[in-house]
Amino acid sequence: MYLPEHFKEKNENHIYDLVKSFPLSTLLCIDDDEIIANHIPIFLKNKNSLIGHIAKENKLHKLISNGSYCLSIFHGENSYISPNWYPSKNLNHKVVPTWNYQVVHLSGKIFFSDNKKDKIEVIGSLTDYHEKNLAKNKPWKISDAPKEYITIMLQNIVAFEIKVDKCLSKSKLNQNKSKEDFKSVLLKMKENAKDQLYKKMKKINKNNK
């Protein structure tokens, strides 16, 4: 990933908040000369461990051996940025369109498991976290479903863990623009309901004061 210093995200809390807020990961693995891409909701167990599951019919766990290196990409909110939003456009017209976005790359070795305990941990972790955020009064639990049904469903999946050893994160949010242009785009993010980008840019603006 091209990562200029001024776009490098260094705040660990912001990095892992993004991973939790946007858990649908693009998981990239390599089989010989072929790049295999899957889109999988993944749970951040801790900064050194990602866990998830795939359908047993997904050949990934057969094509990729345990200990193979992989890359998990998490995309945050993004937005087109119009040159018309920059006050500096009225001075010299030396502005062009760009794109604001946040992304996290977590890479490491992947290990698959057909162990029932591991599969329950993955399902339980993903479900508990997102249900509590979605339905605070009465979140769904695995125990709400018939035990026999859950047993059958578990037989149809394979769990995995990625032991993370590298993290790269990029927040491309007009940090290289003037204060006036930056603040103008900040207000546009609020106006266009780009809530995640607005919150992050607001923090940047506060830190730069």
Q: What is the pTM of this model?
A: 0.92
- For 154-164, what is the mean pLDDT? 97
Closest by CA to 194, choosing from 108, 87, 96, 79, is 79
Confidence of residue 209 (pLDDT cuts 50, 70, 90): low
- For 149-172, what is the mean pLDDT? 97
φ, ψ at 30 (rounded to 5°): -120, 125
Confidence of residue 91 (pLDDT cuts 50, 70, 90): confident
Q: d(Cα 183, Cα 81) in Å, to the nearest integer?
A: 13
What burial letters (b/e) apply to 8-38, b meaning 16+ CB within 10 Å?
ebeeeebbbbbbeebbebebbbeeeeeeeeb
Q: Which domains does the chain have, with CATH numbers?
A: 5-200 (2.30.110.10)
Specify the range with the lowest mean pLDDT, choosing from 53-57, 89-93, 108-112, 193-197. Answer: 89-93
